[in-house]
Amino acid sequence: MRNIQEVLADIERLEPFPTAAVRVLELALSDASNEEIVAVIAADPGLTAKILRLANSARFAPVVSIDSIKDASARLGSKTIVSMVLTTGCASYFMGYGNSSPGSNRSLWEECLHTALVARRISPLVGFPEPELAYTVGLLQNIGHIVLDRFMNAHRDDIVVLVEGGLPLWSAEQRVIGLDHAVCGAKIAERWGLPEAFVKGIQFHHEPAEAGQYRDLCAVAEEAEAITAVALSDNGLSMLERPKSGTGSHLLDAYDVASLMAGVREELTETNLTLA
């Protein structure tokens, strides 16, 4: 119980998610017009500067410079702009929170960004119609680790023993700490006032069957994490859940994962360089 109360207190101390970013997400999910989304972003000079920097990066390779959010939305589309808003808003939380080590947060950020990019790319392969929503949930689904990581040093050995014994990481966290990173992440999303799709997507990304109307979204999130875990298995990354089977998921068997991840790594490098 002490662990749970300390984790919940840590969540309450988190800085709020940027108000403009939350409003942009709400508008995007309500099918608001491009003009409404552009107006919210343009009213925040700091957010505008970050979005324009990313929009003018080599990843998007504009023929001529993009000088305004309205121009960026017209050329790249509002859904891409919304993903940019979330990416820029999230980066600072992963890059050095509380007593977590910079190394652990940096690796978590790269894991989450990898997962988001994979989720976007596999959405059309599995018939999920909202790849940008899949991207945003992929980016956020493991955000609970930024809080739980502070408690891991004292409990890591106990959790590792359970995981090596065959228990999923999230289940081991529940047994040792009292709650898992998915529940913790959902509480962070609620604390930030993020829309329900994000709260449920985070909470049930390891249990899609329990997600109700968000089942397909969570299935993509789970699949993206499994693919990323296998693709990054040589990097010593430890916060991703591997596929339930020993060899991988149906997507790992059916598609060229090496080609998929090559494209993802290119996007990741460019995004990190732009946000650095």
> 237-254: per-residue pLDDT in tens?
455 666 554 434 555 555
Q: Is residue 174 over pLDDT 90? A: no
Q: What are the structure tokens assigned to 260, written together?
A: 């998929």
Q: What is the pLDDT of residues 123-150, one digit of tens each?
A: 988 889 999 899 999 999 999 888 877 7
CA dihedral 36, 68, 22, 222 (to 10 degrees): 110
- Average pLDDT of the chain? 81
Domain extent, residue 124, equals 2-275
What is the domain-level CATH number for residue 9? Answer: 1.10.3210.10
- pTM value is 0.83
Q: How many domains does the chain have?
A: 1
Q: Which amino acid is at 246?
A: G
Identify the sign of the CA torsion 80, 240, 170, 98: negative
Per-residue pLDDT averaged across 179-201, rounded?
92
Q: What is the pLDDT of residues 59-93, one digit of tens each?
A: 777 778 899 999 988 888 888 888 888 888 887 77
Kindly report the length of the chain: 276
Per-residue pLDDT averaged across 177-189, rounded?
90
